[in-house]
Amino acid sequence: MIFNKLITKPLPRNLFLMVFFGILSALFGMLKIQIPGIVGVASDLRELPLIIGIFNFQNPIYAIGLSAITILTKTVEGSYYSSIISHSTALMIFWVFFYFLKKQKTNPYSFGLLGGFFVCIYYMVFLIPLLIITNHLFGLNTDKYFIAFYYNLLLTVRFEIIGVVLITMFYLVQHKLQLNLKIYKKNLEDVVEERTAYLNSVIEELKLTQQYLVQNEKMISLGTFSAGIVHEINNPLNFISGGIQLISELKNEISKNKTVDFNERFENAINFINEGLFKTTSIVKALQSFTSRTTSKRIDSDIHKIIENSLLFLNFSIPENVSIIKNYHLKAKIPVFEDEIHQVIIEILRNALFELNKKTQKDSAIDITTSENEEFAILTISNNGGEIPEQYLSRVFDPFFTTKEPGEGVGLGLSIVYTFITEHKGKIRVENSNTWVKFIIELPFKN
């Protein structure tokens, strides 16, 4: 890990490459290649690590150290200095060619061909002529003419040149392919990141839209409930009004003897008032539990109380021919957001009443059953308004799916129900059972 971080820095990286390719070149220089059947041809691949090394350098000055390391296998002192000068000079000039090549936007195969062409120039224009000149400067091979010496060296290393050219071309092609792959990967990552950011923004917008739709649906529900609330509150107010009227009638008799009839009427007045206050208080408390979330955490709640509150809201809209059957077997409280579960139950009951209102049979019923197993509290709300067509069963919780006529609903109610149950880490499903439709809700006992 430390080594990887270290060689990513320019100076340590270049020093490491200089030593590595220099030693590799020195080792290659110790391996002589003899070509059978061709007299006078003996060569090595010393130049291959030098060329690949200089290609990877960020600064050409390291060519001097690279040349000094690779000539460690030379034995003649004059030839040693001549080789350092000729190699380092040729490599520094060659680095400029490679720098130019890297800047070109070419495909991998053109990149490899140009690199192979530059290797030929490296040998024929720079390395061999510089080697001859430096040899003469150090008093080596002074008996040979430049052109004859050049031709002899070129003939001797011709197979080396071909080998180095081919290997270099393959190296440059795979380097360019790998570089293009990295660029493609980076572009792909950028695209993925951009798309992810876009999707996140869309999700946030959808969440805001969902919240708006939930609140809108709740306001629609509240609009529906308001008529029922007025109706329900009006009844207890009648009790209170009747009680006050009786008290007013009894006011003049207070000073007279209290007869049995007086006591009964007075007691009835008190009972009327108390019953009216009790019912009014119950309605207000039920409305408060539906419309406000007092905590961001789920609280242990009595599901039966939530059911009763929901029925209280819908009481005015339940026809006389529809009976409500209750089978409460759940004993434990469950952690829920009460306002959401209120809306879940009310929405399912509203759908049931909508279906039952389309029927004329006298035995219409809604069955509300609670039970439990080891992990879940189970709430089943059934109605005998008729089965849901099989092709619709898998779609009832889809947003905007509805079988109602235009203007009767937009298909968000059961979608919101599904969202709320999922938020509780619960499960909800719908199934047909003879002429009954059952909504089965499972809510976990643990948060």
**For residues 72-95, b (16+ Cβ closer than 10 Å) or e, as one string?**
ebbeeeebbbbbbbbbbbbbbbbb
For position 213, what pLDDT does the model report? 67
What pLDDT score was predicted for residue 3?
43
pLDDT for res 262: 66
Q: How confident is the model at residue 221 (pLDDT cuts 50, 70, 90)?
A: low
In a domain, 203, yes or no: no
CB 22 within 8 A of CB 66: yes
Domain count, the chain: 2
Residue pLDDT, tens place only, 51-90: 888 888 888 888 888 888 888 776 554 577 888 888 888 8
Q: Is it the case that residue 420 has pLDDT exceeding 70? A: yes
| pLDDT for res 39 | 44
Average pLDDT, the chain: 79
Residue-wise pLDDT for 365-400, tens only, equals 999 999 998 889 999 999 988 888 888 887 888 776
**Least confidently predicted of 183-197, 267-281, 326-340, 348-362:** 267-281
pLDDT grade for 12, boundaries at 50, 70 and 90:
confident
The pLDDT value given to residue 2: 45
Residue-wise pLDDT tens digits, 29-41: 777 666 555 544 4
Residue 284 lies in a domain: no
Note the pLDDT of residue 270.
72
Closest CA to 98 of 156, 58, 135, 71: 58
Let me know if residue 349 belongs to a domain: yes
Whether the CB-CB separation of 439 and 382 falls below 8 Å is answered with yes
12: number of Cβ within 10 Å: 13
pLDDT interval class at 290 (50, 70, 90): low
Q: What is the pLDDT of residue 304?
A: 93
Across 280-292, average pLDDT: 60
Average pLDDT of the residues in 214-218: 61
Please state, in angstroms and as integers, the Cα–Cα distance from residue 429 to each residue in 292, 323, 384, following that order: 27, 23, 17
**Does residue 126 lie in a domain region?**
yes
CATH of residue 386:
3.30.565.10
pLDDT at 168 over 50: yes
Structure confidence by residue, pLDDT tens digits, 94-143:
888 888 888 888 888 888 898 889 889 988 988 889 888 888 888 877 77
- Tell me what pLDDT residue 1 has: 47
| Of the residues 125, 156, 187, the one at which a domain ends | 156
CATH number (domain holding residue 26): 1.10.1760
> CA 420, 423, 428 angle in degrees (round to 5)?
60
Residue numbers of the domain that contains 32? 2-156
**Cβ–Cβ under 8 Å, residues 403 and 415:** no
End residue of a domain, out of 105, 137, 156: 156
Residue 233 falls inside a structural domain = no
In a domain, 368, yes or no: yes
Domain boundary, last residue among 109, 125, 156? 156
Assess contact for 399 and 412: CB atoms under 8 A.
Answer: yes
- DSSP state, residue 46: T
Residue 40's pLDDT is what? Answer: 42
Residue 390 lies in a domain: yes
Tell me the pTM: 0.46
Q: pLDDT grade, residue 327 (50/70/90)?
A: very high
Indicate whether 168 belongs to any domain.
Answer: no
